[in-house]
Amino acid sequence: MNLVVRFRLLFAAVVGAVLAVVTRGVPPDLTAFAAAASRLLHGRFAEVYAEAWNQAGPVQLLISRLLVIGAGRDGTPSIPLAAAVGAAFVAGTMWCCRGSLPREAVGGGLALMWVATALPWNGHPAETAIPLLWAYAVKQSRRDRNLAAATLLALAVAVAPWAILGVPCLLAAAPLRRALPTGALAAALGVACYLPFVLTGHFAMFAQRWGISAGTLPTLLGLPDVTWSFRLAQGAAVAAGVALVARLCRTVPQAVAIVPLAATLLRVATDPVYYPYYFFPVAVASLLLVTLSTRRLPLAAAIGYLALLAASGNWIVWGSLTCLALLLLATVKAAKPSTAPHLPLSPQPS
């Protein structure tokens, strides 16, 4: 038993690698994104977003191009790549939980279960980084490194346009008068990533129409499909919710995880379209919350495992909203006056 405990990270890495290889599949859109990246790299900017289906950011396209190296003809990731990602995901989660064996067990077990759902291969792999970019942006803002915070948020937007929802996360680190300029700079930099394609006159992203998935909140409106007009309204509603959560937990050390998790949950709960991989950014944010939970580990674990259950059972609305309710409960319980403006992202020993 002592040997297992001593080499637990190694064992976890091996199990994560094997599970990742066994469960890997063909990531949706990955080969198409990679093809768009090839056009980008050859300077054919007018062709990258000439069709409305492409809703990925340029950074995501480039990452997709890297991920198809060594892939099978059908786009299945190579075995070494899948193994490396699975091992790093599980062992990395446990390493971030260091200092507490119970937290390592919760984080490692949860990470393994997410790998079993084929995270990140059953989705858009690059988008799993978005909550982490948001979290580090909040951390940088708390250290008054506003340019770094804006750059991180802009990088997230360059991965996927919906990452603009992370801008209100800055309110967890600074009052509105200070967060507003940083958020405006982040939005400007994010938009600038798309300008080379817009200026070609062949930017069709905003022409996309989405069919509404069964079981989503927008089905109550009776609409057959939605356009970017609905997306803008959805974004405004989610941003308002994120801003509220951010303001509630400004004094909470775990805000760097709470606010990104709230943003990803609100996005899933209000989206007119649903795929199980929409919960993958939720998974990353929930694991981050576990790594930071030194005193309320059971509540953080409950949120993480409930998110996994909701994703596995396609319980879109009630699952995400229940997770959000538990998250707000954790925020209220953890909120207390604090005079320290700079709070660490790394976990502290229990």
All structural domains of the chain with their residue ranges: 126-334
Residue ranges in the chain whose pLDDT is less than 50? 338-350
How many whole angstroms separate alpha carbon 78 and alpha carbon 94? 25
> What letters, b where the CB count within 10 A reaches 16 and e where it falls short, cover 158-167?
bbbbbbbbbb
What pLDDT, on a 0 to 100 scale, did the predictor assign at position 337? 52
Backbone dihedral region for residue 72 (phi beyond 0: left; psi -120 to 50: alpha; all else: beta): beta
Give backbone dihedrals phi and psi of 211, rounded to 5 degrees, phi first.
-75, 145
The set of long-range contacts for 299-307, using a CB threshold of 8 Å and a minimum separation of 24, is 299/326, 299/329, 299/330, 299/333, 300/106, 300/330, 301/106, 301/110, 302/326, 303/261, 303/327, 303/330, 304/106, 304/110, 305/110, 305/113, 307/265, 307/279, 307/282, 307/283
Residue 1, helix vs strand vs coil: coil
What pLDDT, on a 0 to 100 scale, did the predictor assign at position 86? 97
For residues 96 and 346, the answer to whether their CB atoms sit within 8 Å is yes
Neighbours of 188 (CB within 10 A): 11
How many whole angstroms separate alpha carbon 316 and alpha carbon 214? 10
* Tens digits of residue pLDDT in 70-108: 988 888 999 999 999 999 999 999 999 998 999 999 999
What pLDDT, on a 0 to 100 scale, did the predictor assign at position 339? 41
Whole-structure pTM value: 0.92
What pLDDT, on a 0 to 100 scale, did the predictor assign at position 349? 47
